[in-house]
């Protein structure tokens, strides 16, 4: 049970993550799942729910950090078209692995969050778009959904109320870009995941041109606690403007890689030392990638940064999806950057020229430098290409591809110069 005193809250999404058999409806119900749902369905109005979500200060947990209540309030009313709710479970940003644990260990929390969100938005059909590789997680969700249907928690007239909602799990098929919400929508329509121009935003024109809300797994899993305890309760957790708990996926050169849910405002140092067991080598990271591979690097001097959207932005990076990759002295930063460049080149959908061509350039030049074939002008070309990609494309993949390279050049120019100077031929 989550305490009603916000000062005593130690977990929201992961409150029951270690409970054995939590994925079954029986155990989930024993832990309080769906208990508050009838109150929401029978006594809450849509306006009240959206208002509580706004008060809560919850910001999207998938990467962009957009206020959830505000996103919901953008859905136009009385359009004559259906409104859709899509859960973004396409977890693919290198370093991010939190939604997988939520879905495989506590799927009913997500389902309950989706029913409540769907009710607030007047949704009849909701979908969970899960990355294709998560075969077992998709099965877990489907099993949980079947149990929910059998218990009248999904389907027609949920728990005897006037609200009906259907929920379908939809597997992707190996395309990082489908985590971008408009690419996800294209993919759900049975097409290649090529992002759309915005505006129109999905809230107005999304799935088959109908109003659509796309929310991350962790965001939706936070909804039941907010509606039960109130927006003010949630707002009191974390720091002003950065409310709530957040799951951080910690990986790389740490002793205990894993998912840790902490209040926003916890310092990076505390996350690494108190939760993730400290570094594998040395005492301070050489590089910290704070929010997934697309976010600019931080250095040891930022080790005490509070983990909030605002503090990480002030430090020159982003909280992103909360994927903290720790890199110690032993790592080869040029090889790592080349590997990330390969990733973005592989995952570029190809519709915008700066990204399609640029990601390939970056990878080829870095490969050349790494193998001792670098040229003096490569540094300028890398910087030039990276800067000309960012902000010149439909979606942010190109910005993400540029970030590691610009970080490498900014913070470790001597490494690149040295690699070029030590030519092998």
Partner 1 sequence: MSDVQFSPQRLDEILTLVKRYPKAQSAILPVLHMAMEDFGHLSIPTQQLVADTLGVRLMMVREVVTFYTMYREKPCGRNLLEVCTNAGCMLNGADELLAKLCEKLKIQPGETTDDDMFSVIEVECLGACGGAPIVQINGDYHENVTEHHLDDVIAKGRTHDPI
Question: Burial, 370: exposed, middle or buried (Cβ in 10 Å; 0-12, 13-18, 19+)?
Answer: middle
Place of tokens 């707002």: 235
Q: How far apart are CA 102 and CA 58, in angstroms?
A: 18
- Judge whether 218 and 61 are in contact, CB under 8 Å: yes
End-to-end C-alpha distance for the chain, whole angstroms: 65
Which tokens hold the place of 11? 């977990």
Least Å from the CB of residue 425 to partner 1: 23
102 near partner 1, judged by CB under 8 A: no
- Judge whether 316 and 298 are in contact, CB under 8 Å: yes
Per-residue interface string for the shown chain with partner 1, residues 270-309, x marking contact by CB under 8 A: -------------------x---x----------------
Least Å from the CB of residue 317 to partner 1: 15
**What are the beta bridge partners of residue 258?**
250
Which range touches partner 1 (CB under 8 A), out of 63-71, 189-197, 310-318, 373-381?
189-197
Among 69, 95, 107, 202, binds partner 1 (CB under 8 A): 95
Least Å from the CB of residue 153 to partner 1: 17
105 near partner 1, judged by CB under 8 A: no
CB nearer to partner 1: pick between 3 and 192: 192
118 near partner 1, judged by CB under 8 A: no
Residues 6+ apart with CB under 8 A from 420: 369, 374, 375, 376, 378, 379
320 near partner 1, judged by CB under 8 A: no
Number of residues that bind partner 1 (CB under 8 A): 58
Per-residue interface string for the shown chain with partner 1, residues 236-255, x marking contact by CB under 8 A: -------------xxxxx--
Among 16, 182, 187, 216, binds partner 1 (CB under 8 A): 187
Q: How far apart are CA 30 and CA 133, in angstroms?
A: 31
CB nearer to partner 1: pick between 213 and 336: 336
Which range touches partner 1 (CB under 8 A), out of 39-47, 94-102, 262-270, 388-396?
94-102
Least Å from the CB of residue 79 to partner 1: 15
Which tokens hold the place of 233? 């309760």
- Judge whether 124 and 166 are in contact, CB under 8 Å: yes
192 near partner 1, judged by CB under 8 A: yes
Using alpha carbons only, give the angle 325, 326, 329 rounded to the nearest 5 degrees: 140
Q: How far apart are CA 304 and CA 323, in angstroms?
A: 17
360 near partner 1, judged by CB under 8 A: no
- Judge whether 124 and 254 are in contact, CB under 8 Å: no
Q: How far apart are CA 385 and CA 363, in angstroms?
A: 11
168 near partner 1, judged by CB under 8 A: yes
Sheet arrangement for strand 166-171: 166-171, 123-130, 83-89, 212-216
Of residues 365, 370, 364, 355, the one with CA closest to residue 402: 355
Measured CA to CA in angstroms, residue 323 lies from 31, 209, 229, 275, 398 at distances of 28, 32, 28, 14, 19
Least Å from the CB of residue 387 to partner 1: 23
Which tokens hold the place of 114? 């989706």
**What are the beta bridge partners of residue 125?**
84, 166
CB nearer to partner 1: pick between 27 and 210: 210
Which range touches partner 1 (CB under 8 A), out of 42-50, 70-78, 96-104, 107-115?
96-104
CB nearer to partner 1: pick between 191 and 423: 191
Among 173, 300, 313, 421, binds partner 1 (CB under 8 A): 173
Residues 327-356 that bind partner 1 (CB under 8 A): 327, 331, 335-336, 339-340, 343, 346-347, 349
Which tokens hold the place of 374? 């670098």
211 near partner 1, judged by CB under 8 A: no
Least Å from the CB of residue 213 to partner 1: 16
11 near partner 1, judged by CB under 8 A: no
Q: Which residues bind partner 1 (CB under 8 A)?
A: 82, 91-97, 99-100, 125, 131-136, 166, 168, 170-176, 187-193, 207-208, 210, 249-253, 257-259, 289, 293, 323, 325, 327, 331, 335-336, 339-340, 343, 346-347, 349
């Amino acid at each position: 049970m989550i305490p009603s005193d916000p000062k005593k809250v130690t977990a929201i999404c992961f409150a029951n993550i270690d409970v054995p058999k939590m994925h079954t409806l029986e155990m989930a119900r024993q832990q309080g799942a769906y208990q508050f749902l009838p109150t929401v369905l029978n006594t809450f109005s849509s306006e009240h729910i959206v208002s509580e979500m706004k008060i809560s200060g919850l910001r999207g947990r998938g990467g962009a950090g957009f206020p959830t209540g505000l996103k919901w309030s953008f859905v136009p009313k009385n359009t004559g078209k259906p409104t859709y709710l899509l859960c973004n479970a396409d977890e693919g940003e290198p370093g991010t692995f939190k939604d997988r644990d939520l879905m495989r260990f506590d799927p009913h929390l997500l389902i309950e969050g989706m029913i409540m969100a769907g009710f607030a938005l007047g949704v009849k059909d909701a979908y969970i778009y899960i990355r294709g590789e998560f075969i077992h997680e998709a099965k877990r969700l489907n099993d949980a959904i079947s149990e929910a249907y059998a218990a009248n928690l999904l389907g027609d007239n949920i728990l005897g109320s006037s609200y009906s909602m259907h929920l379908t799990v939809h597997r992707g098929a190996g395309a990082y870009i489908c985590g971008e919400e408009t690419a996800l929508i294209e993919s759900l329509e049975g097409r290649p995941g090529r992002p759309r121009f915005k505006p129109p935003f999905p809230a107005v024109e999304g799935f088959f041109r109908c109003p659509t809300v796309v929310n991350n797994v962790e965001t939706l899993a936070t909804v039941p606690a907010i509606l039960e305890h109130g927006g003010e309760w949630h707002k009191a957790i974390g720091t002003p403007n950065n409310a709530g708990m957040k799951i951080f996926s910690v990986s790389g050169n740490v002793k205990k890689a894993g998912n840790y849910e902490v209040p926003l405002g916890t310092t990076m140092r505390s996350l690494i030392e108190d939760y993730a067991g400290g570094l594998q080598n040395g005492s301070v990271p050489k590089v910290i990638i704070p929010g997934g591979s697309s976010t600019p690097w931080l250095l040891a001097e930022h080790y005490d940064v509070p983990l909030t959207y605002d503090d990480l932005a002030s430090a020159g990076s982003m909280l992103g999806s909360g994927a903290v990759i720790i890199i110690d002295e032993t790592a080869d930063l040029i090889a790592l950057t080349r590997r990330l460049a390969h990733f973005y080149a592989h995952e570029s959908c190809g519709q915008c020229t700066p990204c399609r061509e640029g990601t390939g350039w970056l990878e080829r030049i870095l490969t050349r430098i790494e193998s001792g074939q670098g040229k003096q002008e490569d540094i300028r070309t890398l910087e030039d290409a990276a800067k000309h990609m960012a902000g010149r494309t439909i979606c942010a993949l190109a910005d993400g591809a540029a970030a590691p390279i610009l970080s490498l050049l900014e913070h470790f120019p001597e490494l690149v110069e040295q690699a070029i100077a030590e030519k092998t031929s």
